Amino acid sequence: MIDPRLAGRTVLVTGGSGNVGAAIARAFAAQGARVAIHYLAQDPSSPAGIEWAHVTPAEGEAARLAEELGNGSFAVSADLSEPEGPVRLLREVVERSGAINVLVNNAAHCELPDDIDTLTHASLERHYQVNAIAPAVLTAEAVRLRRGDALLCVVNITTDAARAFPGQTGYGTSKGALEALTRSTALDLAARGVRVNAVAPGPVQTGWMDDDLLARVEEIVPMGRAGDPEDIADAVVYLASHQARWVTGQVLQVAGGHAL
């Protein structure tokens, strides 16, 4: 029988209160883990004309999810776009739970428009702060707060289009940076027994695809369907499990054959 050995572990899922993040939180809780569900308490101030897509549900929804999960799970707020946000988040989680064993860097920033014609220094900074810099700082702080040789692994959520994402310059390149971070930190931390991997989802239906777009996605995905949040969650749990104990530095594409 497969035993991922996650019962009693503490898992931090950033952007964990909705959509894929909530599915990841539920998947870990089903294995007996305590889940710290990160959320963004308030919408950031939005420049005119920009559509924000990284805002997770507010405190009430995160708290309800934590109660649903049980196992001592709890909700925790932090703004990862702030320079000190990631460090404060990690320290609060460790203070409340005593340790952190699995870090899932799922929170992401995406704003539209994001093509080369609309690119600005400020938009790139916003994308990179949440999608690349915050995961790097969270990983470093998790290593600093690790006690002895306690279990610690990191799973980053990228995108299967990180190699080339036309029309989403800031988002795509920041996710490409996150994949590079996955490989570099995996090599830096391997000798300490810390594993770092990534999951690269294809198009996942979380309500953003209408019927026409969903039909087009089903045509271009070799396995004939869009992904479900649970498809991504199960892959994340695998990479955090005992069964993946000799797997590090990998970007696991979970996309039904899309973008190969």
- Angstrom CA distances, 144 to 45, 58, 90, 258, stand at 32, 29, 10, 37
User: Are the C-beta atoms of residues 145 and 98 closer than 8 Å to each other?
Assistant: no
Name the catalytic one among 39, 128, 171, 238. Answer: 171
Verify whether residue 171 is a known catalytic residue: yes
> What DSSP element (H or E) covers 39?
strand 34-39
Q: What is the side-by-side order of every strand in the sheet holding 34-39?
A: 74-77, 34-39, 10-13, 102-105, 153-157, 195-201, 251-254
Burial 80-116 (b: 16+ CB within 10 A, else e): bbeeebbbebbebbbeebebbbbbbbbbbbbbeebee
Active site residues: 171
